[in-house]
Each structure stands twice: as C-alpha cells, then as structure tokens.
Amino acid sequence: MSPLRDVVVYSRKGCHLCEIVKETLNKLERRGGFHWREVDVDSNDELRRQFTDEVPVVFIDGRKAFKYRVDEREFLRKLA
C-alpha cells in the first residue's frame, strides 16, 4: 500500500472560495489516498505576506497544485 499523500490548504476565515475548496477536499478524501489539513494564512505574518489575497492555495506533497479553485478530476489525476 502506498503512503498517504500530504495535502495542505492555505486559507483564511471569511473566504468563500476557501470553504468551497475545503468541501471538495472533504468529499474527495472519502475516496482515500490522502489526508488534508488547513493552514490559516492570517495566523502568521510571513504566510500573510506570502499569500496576501491569493487564497485558497492547495499544495500536494509540498508542491503548489491549485489556486482559488480545485478541479476534482485534475486533483485525482495529480494524486495518482
């Protein structure tokens, strides 16, 4: 069995697009193969400067994979 992939979502409170991306990841996580976690960019000055208003951003295994939206098919392809 292959190890679980690491998915990180950089987001902030009050971000409508962030909520949509998190709902998508919750749905896809049920298929297995990855676990995801959320990082609030406003919890850290460096992250706030790095991402400013460019959230949500999704990283898979440390590589930037999506910004603003997640396409389900493309996400699953990148996981494979």
CA distance 64 to 7: 10
* SS3 label, residue 25: helix
pTM of the model: 0.92
For the stretch 24-73, pLDDT in tens is: 999 999 988 899 999 999 999 999 999 998 999 999 999 999 999 999 99
CATH code, domain with 63: 3.40.30.10
Q: How many domains does the chain have?
A: 1
Query: Domain containing 74: what range?
Result: 5-79
19 vs 14: CA distance, rounded Å: 8
pLDDT of residue 3: 79
Peptide bond into 56 cis (omega under 30): yes
